[in-house]
Amino acid sequence: MLAISVMLITSASNAESLESLLMPGPVIKAHQEYEKDCDQCHDTSDKAMQGQLCMKCHDHKNILDDVRNKEGFHGRLPETVRTNCKHCHTEHEGRDAIVILLNPSTFDHSKTDFLLKGMHIKTSCTACHEKDKKYSEAPQDCYSCHKESDAHDGKNGKKCGDCHSASSWKLSEFDHDKKTDFPLKGAHKETNCTSCHINQKYKDTPSKCIGCHKIQDIHRGGYGEKCDTCHTPERWDEMSFDHNKNTDFSLYGKHKEASCNSCHTPDKLKKNKNKKVKLPTDCYSCHRFDDSHKGKNGKECKDCHNSKSWQKHKFDHDKKTDFPLRGKHKNLSCTYCHKGDLDLEKKDNLKAKKDKLKTACIECHKKDDVHQGKQGKQCNDCHNEKGWRDNVFFDHDLSSFPLIGMHAAVQCEECHLTSIYSSANSECNACHTGDDVHKTRLGTDCETCHNPNSWENWLFDHDKATRFKIDGAHEEVGCYDCHRTKSKGKLKASRDCIFCHRSQDIHNRQFGRQCGQCHSTKSFKNAKINR
């Protein structure tokens, strides 16, 4: 018995050693416990069963079904590949070998049952394939992934594809014209579904205009509920109602652009709700509140005005009066000059007199006279109707202060603060103290650097205009580093080095004030001592 046992043990050991010798290499960690039991994965009697053994062991019933039905990724593989797992999933390559050769970035999703279209092409894999789940377990219906994005809250069912496409949720493929009895026209085509189907209610939606637009009815029901009598689905402000043909008041000029409620006010519509709306056609009935004349010119507005504009009137002042309107007078309103009553035929005002105005400039412009009467009353000696400052006859160049550059464009009052013109100071700083960014640190003789053309256009050559040449380190120094104190008139500054560099004199003035005897303007450190 002992001999038989030894023989069996020896035979088993030899078989194990033989299989170990024939094994191509170590298996992966997941198969390590079956490494010495080859029959678990290999059927030496039937190689065709090899692939089925893999799928039965790993519970790949879904893959097996795909292979049999020629569906999914594995079912679309060539015959020789889809029944032989080791064609792609090789083994005996070592413990850490990668046997699942799947690269998400290069995987061809068209080989599966779910072809990527539209926005799905740009979507990351993890958006549909959850972690620790098989790729085949990803749902293929829209609702499973987009339940949280369902704006209808499930009220329209789960077949999102009936209306939407993979390109965009906003682009609905639902044909409202064919599938409903309310064809979408005009602005309705661009309207959001929820604007009409409130709270996702799609049944019993009103098809009459007033059902949705009652709150937008600016007529407040005064014209009834048949909005389409005047309006179209294109837009509310484009009406089909022809006022010229259907009424005895044709719309011209500004009337053509006016809204209905400008004339057909709610209070008038309310009074005539059950009757035909009849409004007065005379100008004054509607425009009495627009009458800037306050009734002084009577009620026959059309004698002077027309429907194109109130500002454009027919009254010819040049021909009917002895005061032709020119320049600024031409654009003035009538009441600007005529303060009295012009309607001479008023029966209720027997005291009305002809509004006869004096034509002298000073009669109207006394308050505008900046000279306070000291230049006389003949304004037209210097001025004209185009404007007080337009083409003034006075020639300033003949005075002691010719107007050059920007001075030629300045208003008189900028320099002449009083009506006594001779009192104006001709020095720059007298007018431009506020403009002096130097705050008089460069003196008050502005014309030394600047000219009347512009403050920015200035010319000053320090080397030529002064006895102090700017060179060396001084070229990097700003004006105010040397000119620190305020001064009047022509600027004066010391040329001695010690004037600016007193605090940097490490010799404490033992060598005098003439630093330039040893130092240069380039640097204090490079001293030259003449022995």
Average pLDDT of the chain to the nearest whole number: 81
* 173 alpha carbon, distance to own chain's centre: 32
Judge whether 151 and 143 are in contact, CB under 8 Å.
no
Residue 531 has pLDDT above 70, yes or no: no
Tell me whether residue 531 is in a domain: no
Question: Who has greater pLDDT, 312 or 37?
Answer: 37
Average pLDDT over residues 323-333: 88
- Going by C-alpha positions, the residue among 134, 136, 102, 138 that lies closest to residue 123 is 138
In this structure, is residue 421 part of a structural domain?
Answer: no
Give 343-399 pLDDT, tens digit per residue: 544 444 434 445 578 889 998 898 888 777 777 788 887 888 888 878 777 778 877
Task: Point out which residues pair with 305 in neighbouring strands.
Answer: 313
Residue with tokens 């033992």: 510
**Residue 124 falls inside a structural domain:** yes
Domain count, the chain: 1
Q: 17 falls in which pLDDT band (50, 70, 90)?
A: low
Residue 431 lies in a domain: no
- The DSSP 8-state label assigned to residue 384 in this structure reads B
- What are the backbone angles phi and psi of residue 313, rounded to the nearest 5°? -115, 160
Check whether 230 has a pLDDT greater than 80: yes
- Per DSSP, helices labelled H in 377-478 are 412-415, 428-432, 462-465
CA–CA dist 521, 514 (Å, integer) = 12
Residue 112 within a domain: yes
57 within 8 A of 63, measured Cβ to Cβ: no
- Lowest-confidence pick of 268-272, 287-291, 387-391, 479-483: 268-272
Please tell me which residue, 5 or 407, carries the higher pLDDT value: 407
Q: Is the pLDDT of residue 12 over 50?
A: no
High-pLDDT (> 90) share of the chain, %: 1
Cα 57 to Cα 380: distance, rounded to the nearest angstrom: 115
Report whether pLDDT(332) > 60: yes
> Using 50, 70 and 90 to split pLDDT, how confident is the model at 19?
low
For the chain, how far is it from start to end, CA to CA, in angstroms? 126
| 253-262, 381-390, 391-400, 407-416: range with lowest mean pLDDT | 391-400
Could you give the percent of the chain with pLDDT greater than 70?
A: 90
- Burial of 442 from C-beta contacts in 10 A (0-12 / 13-18 / 19+): buried
Contact between 369 and 384 under an 8 Å Cβ cutoff? The reply is no
- Stronger pLDDT, 463 or 343, i.e. the higher one: 463
Sole residue written with tokens 């009409």? 196
Note whether residue 95 is domain-resident.
yes
Question: 35: domain range?
Answer: 22-139
CA distances from 23 to 27, 34, 46, 490 (A): 9, 12, 19, 108
Sign of the four-CA dihedral 100, 104, 105, 108: positive
Which range (233-237, 417-421, 513-517) has the least confidence? 417-421
- What's this model's pTM, rounded to 2 decimal places? 0.34
The pLDDT of residue 163 is above 60:
yes
Tell whether the model's pLDDT for residue 197 goes beyond 60: yes
Q: What is the pLDDT of residue 269?
A: 62
User: Would you state the pLDDT for residue 342?
Assistant: 61
Alpha-carbon torsion angle 55, 57, 62, 66, nearest 10: 10
Task: Look at residue 1 in the predicted model and tell me its pLDDT.
Answer: 43
pLDDT digits (tens, 9 = 90+) for 171-183: 777 888 888 888 9
What is the pLDDT confidence band of residue 2, given thresholds at 50, 70 and 90? Answer: very low
Mean pLDDT (whole number) for 203-208:
84
Please state, in angstroms and rounded to a whole number, the distance separating the CA atoms of residues 120 and 118. Answer: 5
Note whether residue 470 is domain-resident: no
**Nearest in space to 261 (alpha carbons), one of 222, 308, 214:** 222
97 occurs within a structural domain: yes
